Chain A
Amino acid sequence: MNKSETIKALSERLELTQTRTEELYNSLVSTFTEHLSENNGFSIPDFGSFSSEIREEYKSYNPHYKQMMLLPKKKVVRFSQSSALKDEFNEVEL
Chain B
Amino acid sequence: MSKKVTFSELVKAFAESHDLTQQKAEDMIRGVFDLVIDDLEENGKASITSFGSFELKDVAERTGINPQTKEEIVIPAHKKVSFKPFKALEESVNAPFAGLEPTLLGESSVTETEETTAKEEKEQEPEVFEDPFAEVIKPAEEQDDEAETPDAVEEGSVEEQEESEVEAPPVFVAPEKEKGNEVSWIFIVLVLLIAGTGIWFFFLRDSDPGNIDNVVAGNQAPAQQQAEQVEKVPPAETAAKEEKAPETSAASSEKKNNVKAEPEAKNEMPVPKKLTAYIIEKDEWMWDISREVYGVPYLWPLIFEANKTVNDDPNLVEPANTLMIPSLEGSSSNLTKADYAKLAKATKLVSEAYAKSGNSERAKEYSRFAAKYERNSKN
A interface, CB within 8 angstroms of B = 1, 3, 6, 9-10, 13-14, 24-25, 27-29, 31-33, 35-37, 39-45, 47-48, 50-53, 57, 59, 62, 65-77, 79, 81, 85-86, 88-90, 93
Contacts and interface: CB of A to CB of B under 8 A. Distances in A.
Contact of A42 (B5, B40, B49): B5
Given A69-B103, A70-B102, A75-B94, A81 B81 contact: yes
A6 B101 CA distance: 37
A79 B27 CA distance: 21
Contact of A68 (B36, B97, B105): B105
Given A73-B126, A75-B94, A13 B5 contact: no
Which of the listed residues B29, B93, B297 has the most CB atoms from chain A within 10 Å of its own CB? Answer: B93
B103 A79 contact: no
A69 B97 contact: no
Nearest to A36: B93
B56 interface: yes
B97 A75 contact: yes
B282 interface: no
Contacts of B7: 42-45
- Which 7 pairs show the lowest CB-CB distances between chains A and B? A79-B83, A72-B100, A42-B5, A77-B85, A89-B79, A3-B49, A68-B105
Interface residues of B, number: 68
A15 B122 CA distance: 53
B330 to A, nearest CB: 15
A9 B35 contact: yes
Contact of A86 (B78, B92, B103): B78
Contacts, number: 169
Interface stretch (B11-19, B209-217, B227-235, B250-258): B11-19
Given A10-B32, A53-B2, A89-B41, 13 more contacts: A10-B28, A29-B48, A33-B92, A37-B92, A40-B5, A50-B83, A57-B122, A70-B102, A70-B103, A86-B81, A89-B40, A89-B81, A90-B78
Given A1-B46, A75-B94, A40 B122 contact: no
Contact of B88 (A33, A40, A67): A33
A53 B50 CA distance: 20
Contacts of A85: 37, 81
B296 interface: yes
Contact of A52 (B48, B93, B101, B297): B93
Contacts of B76: 93
A67 B49 contact: no
Contacts of B223: none
Nearest to A30: B50
B123 interface: yes
B202 interface: no
21 contacts: A13-B31, A14-B24, A24-B18, A25-B49, A28-B29, A33-B50, A35-B10, A37-B92, A39-B2, A41-B4, A42-B6, A45-B30, A50-B83, A57-B119, A68-B104, A72-B122, A74-B100, A75-B96, A77-B83, A86-B80, A90-B78
Contact of B3 (A39, A70, A93): A39
Nearest to A12: B31
A39 B3 CA distance: 6
Contacts of B94: 74-76
A8 to B, nearest CB: 10
A70 B1 CA distance: 25
Contacts of A37: 92-93, 95
Contacts of B10: 31, 35, 42
B170 to A, nearest CB: 37
Interface in B30-55: 30-33, 35-37, 39-41, 43, 46, 48-52, 54
